[in-house]
Amino acid sequence: MHNLLTIIDSISDFYAPLYTFAYYEVEDIKQEIAIMCLEAYPKYNAAYNTSLLTFLSRHVRNRLLNLKRDKFTRPLDCMRNPELCGRETESGERDCINCRVFQAWKKRNGAKRQLIANIGVQEIDIEDKGENKSLRDIGVANQVEEMKKVVAMLEPEVKKLWEKFRRGAVLSEEEEEELIEEILLCRILHKQSV
């Protein structure tokens, strides 16, 4: 059970800052991740030759993508069900560009995203003596520092994947799983050494 809690903590520390949106703060996402892991744990089957860490990481990532999709953008009915779309070209394809309903949906969801989107977090200088920092700012700065230490612990080939990911390149599923597993393992080792 201790191992499961350590894995859940590591996964939530890794994914929570990446999947915050709208009114879901880091702590909210951590709670969601804990619930997701506890729901998925009974479905884990070691016979499939995958580690619990990999299984839960993949499960949580998929569920967080669904959460963000469902809470951040509501799909348009005619996008989910093509039979509801009244705009089709002669070739039978949907013509969303000229669809009044689609354009209104696109404008409404674009405005909603702009209103509730998080502003990107830059590294925060806690040593700045002239300003009072909030607890959230200090927490983010601590996470940035911890992440730097974890990245320093990565093997050279995994560091290359990390840099590739940071530059915005798309990783293959295998590369992504390897990167996530190594980062989570290094975080566990880092926490144990502190």
Q: What are phi and psi of 69, to 5 degrees?
A: -60, -45
Read off the pLDDT band of 12 (50, 70, 90): very high
The model's pTM: 0.47
Q: Are 162 and 179 a contacting pair, CB within 8 Å?
A: yes
Domain boundaries, the chain: 1-72, 77-116, 134-194
Structure tokens that stand for 134 in this block:
């909030």
End-to-end CA distance of the chain: 22
Task: Convert the pLDDT of each residue in 74-101 to its tens digit.
Answer: 666 665 555 556 565 556 566 666 777 7
Task: Convert the pLDDT of each residue in 21-61 to its tens digit.
Answer: 777 889 999 999 999 999 999 999 988 888 999 999 999 99
For 135-149, what is the mean pLDDT? 66
What is the per-residue pLDDT for 53?
Answer: 92
What is the per-residue pLDDT for 124?
Answer: 38
